[in-house]
Amino acid sequence: MEVYLDNSATTKCSKRAVDTMVNLLTADFGNPSSLHSMGAKAEEYVKEARKKIAKTLKAEEKEIFFTSGGTESNNLAILGCVEANKRAGNHIITTAIEHASVQQVFEHLKEEGYRVTYLPVDVSGVISLEALEEALDEETIFVSIMQVNNEIGTVEPIEEAVQLIRKKAPKAVIHVDAIQSYGKMAICPKKLKIDLLSVSGHKIHGPKGSGFLYIKDKTKIKPILFGGGQQKGMRSGTENVPAIAGLAEAAAEAYDHLEENVSHMYGLRDYFIEEVTKIEGVTVNGSTGMQAAPHIVSVSVEDVRSEVLLHSLEEKGIYVSAGSACSSNKPSVSRTLKAIGLKNNLLDSTVRFSFCESTTKEELDYTIANLKEIIPFRRKFTRK
Amino acid sequence: MYKSFLIKYGEIAIKGKNRYLFEEALTGQIRYALRSVDGEFEVRRLQGRIYVDALSEYDYDEVLEALSHVFGIVGICPVVLVEDEGFDKLAEDVIAYMDKVYPDKHITFKVNARRARKNYPMDSMELNAALGEKILDAFPEIKVDVHNPDVLLCVEIREKINIYSTEIKGPGGMPVGTNGKAMLLLSGGIDSPVAGYMIAKRGVAIDATYFHAPPYTSERAKQKVVDLAKIVSKYSGPINLHVVNFTDIQLYIYEKCPHEELTIIMRRYMMKIAEHFANENHCLGLVTGESIGQVASQTMQSLAATNAVCTLPVYRPLIGFDKNEIIDISEKIDAYETSIQPFEDCCTIFVAKHPVTKPNLKVIERSETKLSEKIDELMKTAIDTTEVIHITAED
C-alpha cells in the first residue's frame, strides 16, 4: 500500500490541471505578448485563469498577479511593499514561526537597517496579540502574518490582528501568507481587510512553479523583477501560461468542493489524532478543533528520531515529513517547534502528517497500525 | 587542429620484461577513460610510445580532462604527425605548425630534433640548425634562445614525423590493473574515496563494500555512496560496489554488547564481511580510509582490534595524513562536495558519547561471545542479501 501523507510539502497535480497544461504546452503554446492570434489565444487563457482565481477570493481580476510560486509571492509582497513605503517608516513586523520565504526576507531587511519585530507564539503556535499591540507604532509600515502554519497547522487570528494594526498603525500594509490555507478554507481578503495574500499552486494540486500574489487595488508596491513589463509591470517575464491555467483549474476545483473536502479532512484529522495519541509517548503539537487546519498533524514521538521514523514508515510505503530536518552533521532545528516551546528531546522526534481530500480512512488505519509496530520497536534502540 | 596525442609514461618504462603488460594496461585504461568522451578514438602502441588518434570531431579540453584521470600517464603532448616527404616539406609543415599554434610571434624558441629513425639523411644537430633557420626566415619577429626558450619545439623523426611543443602533466602513478585488486571499505565520508584514489594510483584495481542501515540511513545516503564510487571509478576503472544491509547486525550488537564497545565491534564485523567479498572477488587486500588518531575507532589500539579479524592485509593509504591534507586530495578529485552532503552514516547512528579509545582485544572478544547465538545467521543473511552495483565512470 502506498500512502502519501506529505501533502503540505507538495500534492499530486490534478488531471484537469494536467490536461489543460498539456494543451497549452503542445497546441495553444503562444506568447500572450505576441500580436498574432496565437498570442491572443494565450492571453485569453491567462485572463480566464485570473477570473477563476479572483472568484475564489471574491477579489477583482486586476488584483491577481501570477508568480513562480509561494517564495516569489512572499518576496514580492515584502520587498516590493517595504521598498515602496520606506519613507513612511522603518519598522516591520512578522511572527516567529513564518516559513523561510518570509523569515529570510525579513532577515535580509534587518541587515538593510530595518527594525524587525518577531511576534512570539503560545504553546499552540498562536501569535500573541498583546505583543502585536505593543510592537505597533507610527513607524510600522509592514506586517506579515501567516494564516496557517506549515509545520503544526495552527490558524492565526488574522481578523483580530488586522483590527489592532489598522487602529494603531494605519499606514501599515498587511500581508498574509496563505500558502497552507488557500484551498482549505474560505478566504476573502476584502473582508479580512488585508492588502496582500500569497498563494502557491503545487500545494493545491496545481503545478510546481505556479502561484500568485493578491494585491489589493491601489496598494503601494514596487516590482522586484524588471523586464518586458508584463502584468502591468508588476511582474515582468513571459507569463507561464500552462502553469497559470493549471493553477486556475486546481483552484477552481478546490473551491468548487471546499465544504465537503474540508469536512472530510477534519474528520480524518480528528480520527488520526485520536488514534495516534493512544500510542504511548506520542503527543500532537499545535491547536485543535477549528483553530487548526484540517490537513496538518504534527506528531512528536518520544525516543524515536524523526528521520528514523520517517524512513521506517517509508519502508511500509508511507510518506511523511520530518518536523525538523536534523542530521548528525548539520543540526537545523525547526524555528516553529522551538517557538512553541517544544521540549528539547522532542525537537528531533517530530514528524508531520499532511492530508488531502483524497486521503482515506483506510490509509490512516494502515498508517496507525504501522506506527503501533514501529514506535515501540525503534524505541528499543536509542542513541545513548 | 590536433588529431593525435602522444602519451608519455614514466615509471612503467623501466619495468624490464614486464613492460608490455604495463603498456597493455595503460592503453586499456586510456580506452576506458575515453569512453566518456564524445567522438571516436584509436589508442595504439608504436615503438615504445602510445598515441591517441582522434578519428572524428572531438572536444580538445574534454580529451585532456579524461586523460588526466589515467594513472601511469606522465605527460600528454598534443602532436601533429606528418609523413616524411623530404626536408623541404618538413620545413613547410614546421612553419605552418608554428604559425598556427603561436599567432603572436614575439617569442623565443629552440628546436629539439630527435632522429629516432637512423636512416634519415640529416642527424639531430643538422636538423636543429636547418629547421631553426627556416623558422627565423619565415617569421622575422621570432628569436632563438637555446637556454630558456618560450617554446621548445620537438621534432621527432620516427615512422612518421612528430611535431609538438607542449606537454600537459599527467597524474603519474601506475596503470590500474598492473598491481592486482583490492576491496575498499567505502563510506559516505571524505576519507574512503580518497583512500580508493590513492590505492588506484599505484595500479591497484578496486571493488568496494558499503554498509547500509535502513531505516537509520536513507536512500539518499546510499545514492551518495554510489556517486562517490562513480567519482573514484573515473580513476580506478569499473568498481563492483557491494551494498550490505547491516541494520540487523548493528541492532543485535546494540542489544547484546556494552554500548561503548559498539563501534569497535561493529567495525570488526564490517571487516569480516568485506573480507568475505574480497576473497570472493580475488582481491589481494582490504583498503580503508583510516588515519591514526582521527576518531576513537582509529587509535592504534582500535586499529589493532579491527585488524585482528582479517587475514588479508589491510592497506591504509591515508594513515599518516592530517584531515586537511585528505580534504585537499578530496577536492582535487572532485569528491569533496559529494562527501560533505549531510546524510547520516551507519557508523554514527548509535555512537556512544564516550566510546572506548583503547580497546583491549581480549575484552572485545569476550563481549563478542554474547553474540554467538545469532551472529552467524545474521552475517549469512547480510552476505546473501547484498546487492552488487556495477559502477563505471561513464554512466
Backbone angles phi, psi at B323, to 5 degrees: -55, -45
**In A, which residues are within 8 Å of B352 by CB distance?**
384
- Alpha-carbon distance of A351 to A354, in angstroms, equals 10
pLDDT digits (tens, 9 = 90+) for A144-189: 999 999 999 999 999 999 999 999 999 999 999 999 999 999 999 9
Instruction: Determine whether the annotation assigns residue B102 to a binding site.
Output: no
Report H helices in chain A. Answer: 15-26, 37-57, 70-84, 100-111, 129-135, 158-168, 189-192, 241-256, 258-276, 306-315, 335-339, 344-347, 361-379
Question: Binning pLDDT at 50, 70 and 90, where does residue B265 land?
Answer: very high
Query: Alpha carbon of A98 to those of A9, A88, A178, A224: distances in Å?
Result: 15, 24, 11, 21
Beta carbons of B353 and A384 less than 8 Å apart: yes
Answer for the pair B183, B98: CB distance below 8 angstroms, yes or no.
no
Considering the entire predicted model, what is its pTM? 0.87
Q: What is the pLDDT of residue B11?
A: 63
Residue A327 has pLDDT above 50, yes or no: no
Residue B318 has pLDDT above 60, yes or no: yes
Residue B313 has pLDDT above 90, yes or no: yes
Residue A330 has pLDDT above 50, yes or no: no
Tell me how close the Cα of A329 comes to any Cα of chain B, in angstroms. Answer: 5
As beta bridge partners, residue A198 has A177, A213
Superfamily of domain A3-11+258-379: Aspartate Aminotransferase, domain 1 (3.90.1150.10)
* ipTM value: 0.82
pLDDT digits (tens, 9 = 90+) for B205-263: 999 999 999 999 989 999 999 999 999 999 999 999 999 999 999 999 999 999 999 99
Give percent of chain B with pLDDT exceeding 70.
Answer: 98
Q: What is the pLDDT of residue B19?
A: 81
pLDDT digits (tens, 9 = 90+) for B281-307: 999 999 999 999 888 889 999 999 999
Give percent of chain A with pLDDT exceeding 70.
Answer: 97
Domain locations in chain A?
3-11+258-379, 15-256
Q: Domain A15-256 belongs to what architecture?
A: 3-Layer(aba) Sandwich (3.40)
Q: What is the pLDDT of residue A252?
A: 98
Q: Which of B222, B337, B349 to mutate to test the interface with A (most CBs of A within 10 A)?
A: B349
Question: Binning pLDDT at 50, 70 and 90, where does residue B395 land?
Answer: low
Tabulate helix, strand, coil % of chain A (nearest 5).
45, 20, 40
Q: Kindly report the CA angle at B302 between B298 and B308, in degrees rounded to 5?
A: 125
Beta carbons of B344 and A310 less than 8 Å apart: no
Q: Is A377 on the interface with B (CB under 8 A)?
A: no
- Alpha-carbon distance of B395 to B393, in angstroms, equals 6
Answer for the pair A159, A179: CB distance below 8 angstroms, yes or no.
no
Is it true that A3-11+258-379 and A15-256 share their CATH fold? no
Give percent of chain A with pLDDT exceeding 90.
Answer: 94
Residue A375 has pLDDT above 90, yes or no: yes
Residue A324 has pLDDT above 60, yes or no: no
Looking at chain B, the number of H-run helices and the number of E-run strands are: 13, 15
Residue A306 has pLDDT above 50, yes or no: yes
Rounded to the nearest integer, the mean pLDDT of chain B is 93
**In A, which residues are within 8 Å of B351 by CB distance?**
383
Instruction: Nearest chain B residue to A330 by CA: give it.
Output: B342
pLDDT digits (tens, 9 = 90+) for A97-131: 999 999 999 999 999 999 999 999 999 999 999 99
pLDDT digits (tens, 9 = 90+) for B92-109: 999 999 999 999 999 999
Backbone angles phi, psi at B253, to 5 degrees: -60, -40
Residue B85 has pLDDT above 90, yes or no: yes
pLDDT digits (tens, 9 = 90+) for B39-83: 999 999 987 789 999 999 999 999 999 999 999 999 999 999 999
Q: What is the pLDDT of residue B206?
A: 97
Q: Which of B215, B255, B353 sits opposite A315 (nearest CB)?
A: B215
